[in-house]
Amino acid sequence: MIKANLPQTASLLNVSPDTVRRRLRSGSLVGERDERGHWHIELPDSMAAATEQQQTIGMATPLQVQDGTPELVQALRDQIEDLSARLDRSEAERKEDKEKAAAERARLLALIDRLAVGTERKPV
């Protein structure tokens, strides 16, 4: 048996901490509280491998190189470059649309002014 705290247990079981608490209350999980009120839950040894794997994954750094990693990194860089280019094009289109909308607004306001002046001159 191994002992895990409440967040570790929730992560290992892929449930929320509240679910772990409910299972402790119902008796489907066994654990005890320390003097500070923190839970120490007993889990089967089969869960120990999962715990060790999670700790190893959590301590990995992006600079660690494994077989196939350079190709993956290059593929991700290519994808980032493509997405950046798309974003740049989208921003340019947005800016162009904004300029067109401003020009159209100015044209419409000028038309409204001309119509307003035209109706003031005509006697009713």
Which domain covers residue 39, as residue numbers?
2-59
Q: What's the pLDDT score for residue 67?
A: 61
Q: Which of 12, 31, 59 is the last residue of a domain?
A: 59
Look at strands 30-33 and 2-5 and give their pairing: unpaired
pTM summary value: 0.40
Question: Same structural domain for residues 54 and 71?
Answer: no
pLDDT, tens digit, 9 for 90 and up, residues 36-48:
988 889 888 766 5
Q: What's the pLDDT score for residue 9?
A: 85
Give the pLDDT mean for 54-81: 67
Question: Same structural domain for residues 25 and 73?
Answer: no
Question: Same structural domain for residues 23 and 75?
Answer: no
Residue type, 115: L
Look at strands 39-43 and 30-33 and give their pairing: antiparallel
Q: What's the pLDDT score for residue 80?
A: 92
Question: Where does the pLDDT of residue 72 fall: very low under 50, low under 70, confident under 90, or very high at 90 and above?
Answer: confident
